Structure 1
Amino acid sequence: MAYRKHITVGVLCCTLLISLLFAGCNPRVPHHFDQETEENIKLDSTVLGVSVVADSLIVPWELVWGPDDRIWVVEERGHIMRINPSTGEKRIILKLPIGARPEGAQALLVHPDQKRYPYVYVHYKKIKEDGKRYHILERYEYRRDTLLRPKVIMEQLAGKSHSGSRLAFHTPRRILWATGDQAIKGATQDPNSFHGKVLRMDLDGNIPDDNPTPGSYVYALGFRNMQGLVVTPKGQIYTSEHGDASDDEINRIVGNGNYGFPAIEGTVDNDIEREFALEHNTIAPLIAWTPTIAPAGLDYYSSMKIPEWNNALLLVMLKGQGLRVLNLNEEGDRIEKEEVFLEKMYGRIRAICVSPDGDVYISTSNHDWNPMTSPDRRDDRILRIAKVKEAVKAPIYGKNAADISAQPKTGEVLYQQYCMSCHKNKGKGLKGIYPALASSEVVKDSEELIRTLVNGKKSGDYAMPSFTFLADEDMVRVVNYVRTNFGNDYKEIDRTAVQEIREKVQKK
């Protein structure tokens, strides 16, 4: 009996060992959702669970689902790591030799065919020995859990802000790089500048022979500050883009396309924009948002695991603090439905990726330079959104984007929509960057406050945009809100005051 018992235990141990070995080799082992469910989301026929995969990160700028079934992450401080989505285990495989802002890592790309092309690409900003700031696009080879043989494949002088950026594979041997305008508006329409462009290159950083313009990296132009880029399985390209004070955008990218910035923001809606659009044959966005939402990471969902999201763009938001689901038509050239999830529940959300199994991963950005909330003790976090059998928490539902836009335009709502991301809750501002509104000399002087809203403020790295597009009534509401809150107790203005300032500005 004892002999048989030992044999049985031995067989069981061998069987278990073999199972574990094969499980470790199988790239499609189902994930074990042992993380505690924080929230449940109810769709039409699907229940989703939201759980924390990993925490205590510092501004993860990009998430990539790797061919090794790990989440590849680059933090702004230059740490590149691989995270096990089942256990949350983090393994740092490279620390880039960069410091804090204005330096920082932003884009990451892992080649899906690591056997033929063991390449990992990263874009970061660095101040070099000459004291100037540069964009550096660097390629590494991934071998034995280490990034080796760094090769700079592109280097460009960087501006003060609006860096973008995102990377994506157009084909297995072609890379797209979405860049920002560096706050140099004229550069976006200059075909010889790399700023405000979608660039296209081969795996070594060379200009491909099949680019739209021979001898040029430029695939498309006319962008302000792109923060999301995705290529669908059918080869369609989409970007998300920060507007200025208005008109954040989603664009469908075509070769040689001109998307209008800075002459056109959002859809064409005045004579100047119409003239430019006709002359340059510009392409309108699929959608534009005013008030702005600060669209960030973008991915495409093509799985029946969450059937309600199949054939949709998934967009995460910084200012909007949530996940937007943009359902496309069959051709991919129109957005048919728009819903918002997790709004203001986890703070700023910057990056997103989708696993081959149809699970969605998003990361918060609450430790960055422009916080909108106080970081949670576990921030920054990577969250998983996945299908579950049943809800264990009271489910939350998506919000129709049209309903959000239709809320009453009180002074407080207008402040939240247009001012709070910079001047913060209670008007306290951000030290050294955005001025506080309490006891402000500009706020005290109603004429100067209106003039600043109409003209904007051009000086400094973080210039204030013009809000001249606001209707007179809305400008009156937001001015009076600022002048009677945050400890301010100033006389309210009327519509005549706004109209007089507008007339003075127009005469100049």
Structure 2
Amino acid sequence: MLGCSPRKRKEAILPVEQNIQLDKSILDISVVAKGLNVPWEITWGPDDKIWMTEQHGEISKIDPETGDKKRILEIKEVWKDRTTGLLGMVIHPNIKEYPYVFVDYTIKNDKNIFSKLVRYTIQRDSLISPKTLLVIPGSSGHNGSRLAISPNGKLLWATGDAQKFQNAQNEKSLNGKILRLNIDGTVPENNPVKGSYVWAKGFRNMQGLTFSKNGLLYTSEHGDALEDEVNLITREGNYGWPNIEGVHDTEDEKKYAEKYNTIEPLLSWTPTIAPSGLTYYGSDNIPEWKNSLLLATLKARSLRVLKLNDDGTKILSDNIFLENEYGRLRGVCVSPKGDIYVSTSNKDWNPYSKPLESDDRILKISRANKISSAKVLKGKVASENTNIDNIDQLYSIYCGSCHKDDGSGVEGSFPALKGSSIVLGDKGNLIKVFLKGKKTENKPEQMPAFKFLSDEEGAAILTYIRTNWGNSAGAIQASEIKKMR
């Protein structure tokens, strides 16, 4: 059985690619493994290996000293398409008494899509005796799917709304919720509602879930066109979606919040950053980051260090590291020693550019004694401001993740803006889509509404897409947008 007394051996020396300079500490960045295929979940195992799910359906272990990969399970019924596949995984922390690994993944029967939660038993280097704990409706997107074990041994499952927004507030639906289960799949007796798995509700698409050292539960969640979130989860809490996005800052949201006692996020981001893997950092190894949430981001292509106050109820600062250095970041975990491991996600369905031959990778961030690379990175404090004078940046922030910086789009998902009949055609139709959004039948992705942007910002973006990449249509004025609101 794994997890009792891992064999000690001399630590290998990985080549240092870059350094990070903090206030006092110097950090090394090394590549542990490369050539992976969308490592969706990474977690530190009881055998001092990195356990990993790859989206196409494999569970493997990575030796953090050598990068050697050993596959331990292939789940053949996994259905992978866009954001579906083999997703979340958690290992029970009391492996001697409960030698279990929990995973969730997408399956498809005929035209019906489901999210399936399964428990495996660890036997040496194998996972055996699969036991299905729960199956819920799924979708081609918004499946959530992170897992965590609470300090008192309960299993938490963060589910998405399965692209049916009202699921999140529907008491009879298990989508758009945090579910709390016993490890045998039964409903805990002390859940808020007798016989119900629901612990908290009102979520769109959570992609991060973690407990702090003092037992607080945090999530990271994708918003629509605005208000990505990090939330502190409370028993029976209502987090507002779809009636509220992020902070309660509109009159309708304030009324809903007062009526239903909804909870605001600890932090929200507009422009969105696509938050993904989330873990708590409580080690003394990197003192500047102690008592922080570490957040991997996809759209923002960065690692965020979110410093908490002493009791964990507020985020004091948001600092950005690795921005645009390694592409999309999906997962993050911490070793008992305090080293940090981050997985990239450049082979997924929505890359910013062509993946490198070395993608996807697992990076190691560790404490160093001295600077040993030619490139030294520093963090920066997140800013809420966007510069309307930098139109390239404005377009990239709000449109680039879907339609790409060169306007090429993603075939089958996001239409190209280059040469688009909607872009080059009637101004009124384009402004209408921009302000109100657009949903195409039989396609999971939809154009969100950008009415929250100012008339000036909207005019700048629309003019940019009408006059770039060979497009030669006329400019759009702020007054034209104001008239159509």
- TM-score with structure 2 setting the length: 0.96
Deviations 1:433-473 (A, max 9, x none): 11111111111122211110011002231111100000000
8 A contact 2:226–2:271 mirrored in 1 = yes
RMSD of Structure 2 on Structure 1 (CA): 1.5
Match of 1:316 in 2: 296
Structure 1 residues 398-447: Cα deviation after superposition (integer angstroms, max 9, x where no partner):
01112x74545532211101100000121011111111111111111222
* Equivalent residue number for residue 69 of structure 1: 48
**Residue 266 (structure 1) aligned with residue 249 (structure 2):** no
Q: Secondary structure in 1 aligned to 2:288?
A: helix
1:475-494 correspondence runs (5 A):
475-494=458-477
Letter in 1 for 2:36: L
The correspondence for 1:143, drawn from 97, 117, 123, is 123
CA distance in structure 1 between the aligned counterparts of 2:14 and 2:122, rounded to whole angstroms: 29
Q: CA shift at 1:157, angstroms?
A: 2.1
Of the structure 1 ranges 134-143 and 407-416, higher mean CA displacement relative to structure 2 is found in: 407-416
Runs of at least 5 residues in structure 1 that lack an aligned partner in the other structure: 1-23, 503-508
Is the CA contact 1:31–1:86 (under 8 Å) kept in the aligned structure 2? no
What CA distance in whole angstroms lies between the structure 2 residues aligned with 1:228 and 1:326?
14
In 1, are the aligned partners of 2:298 and 2:328 still within 8 Å (CA)?
yes
Q: Which moved more, 1:465-474 or 1:204-213?
A: 204-213
> Structure 2, unaligned stretches of length 5 or more?
none
Mark the CA change 1:99 to 1:223 in structure 2 (over 3 Å): closer, same or farther: closer
The equivalent of 1:109 in structure 2 is 90
- One of 225, 228, 242 as aligned partner of 1:245: 225
- For residues 227 and 466 of structure 2, the distance between their equivalents in structure 1, rounded to whole angstroms, comes to 27
Runs in 1 of length 4+ with deviation above 3 angstroms? 24-31, 404-409
Deviates more, 1:387-396 or 1:228-237: 387-396
Deviations 1:19-52 (A, max 9, x none): xxxxx98549587251110110000110000000
What is the DSSP-based 3-state SS (H/G/I as helix, E as strand, rest coil) of the residue aligned with 1:171?
A: coil
Correspondence list, 1:343-422, <5 A: 343-393=323-373, 394-402=375-383, 405=385, 407-422=387-402
After alignment, is 406-415 or 132-141 more displaced? 406-415
441-450 or 349-358, which deviates more: 441-450
Any conservation in 2 of the 1:429–1:435 contact (CA below 8 Å)? yes
Task: Note closer, same or farther for the CA distance 1:392–1:332 as it changes in structure 2 (3 Å cut).
Answer: same
Where 2:11 maps in the other structure, the secondary structure is coil
% same residue: 46
Aligned to 2:168: 188
Match of 2:39 in 1: 60
Change (3 A) 1:389 1:28: farther
**Deviation at residue 100 of structure 1 after TM alignment:** 3.2
Q: Which residue of 2 aligns with 1:177?
A: 157
Q: Distance in 2 between matches of 1:471 and 1:126?
A: 42
Matched, 1:473 2:456: yes
Q: What is the CA deviation profile of residues 175-219 of structure 1, one whole-angstrom value per residue up to 9, with x for unaligned ones?
A: 100011111111100111111101000001110011122221110
State the match for 2:434 in structure 1. Answer: 453
Q: Letter of the aligned partner of 1:179 in structure 2?
A: T
TM-score under structure 1 length normalisation: 0.91
| Alignment equivalent of 1:43, drawn from 16, 19, 22 | 22
Instruction: Give 1:499's match in structure 2, choosing from 463, 482, 485.
Output: 482
User: Structure 1's 201 and 439: CA in aligned 2 closer, same or farther, altered over 3 A?
Assistant: same
Q: Match for 1:90: what amino acid?
A: K
Instruction: Determine which of 226, 242, 254 is the counterpart of 2:206.
Output: 226
- By how many angstroms is 1:234 displaced? 0.9
Q: Which structure has the greater CA radius of gyration?
A: 1
Paired position in structure 2 for 1:81 = 60
The aligned residue for residue 191 of structure 2 is 211
C-alpha distance in structure 2 between counterparts of 1:205 and 1:62, whole Å: 21
> Could you tell me which residue of structure 2 aligns to residue 302 of structure 1?
282
SS of the residue aligned with 2:129? strand
Distance 1:409 1:239, change over 3 A: farther
More helix by share: 1
* Structure 1 residues 29 and 144: alpha-carbon distance in aligned structure 2, compared to 1, 3 A threshold: closer
Q: Structure 1 pair 377/31, CA: closer, same or farther in 2 (3 Å)?
A: farther
SS of residue paired to 1:350: strand
CA distance in 2 between counterparts of 1:181 and 1:457 reads 19
Amino acid at match of 1:246: L
Alpha-carbon separation, structure 1, partners of 2:61 and 2:43: 9
- How many Å separate the matches in 2 of 1:196 and 1:31? 46
State the distance in 2 between where 1:190 and 1:50 align.
45
Matches within 5 A, 1:157-172: 157-172=137-152
Query: C-alpha separation between the residues in 2 aligned to 1:31 and 1:416?
Result: 46
**Alpha-carbon displacement from aligned partner over 1:107-140 (angstroms, at most 9, x marks no partner):** 0111122211110111000112x44211111111
Distance in 1, matches of 2:388 and 2:142, equals 32
1:491 corresponds to which letter in structure 2?
A: G
- Whether the aligned pair in 2 keeps the contact of 1:410 and 1:477 (CA below 8 Å) is no
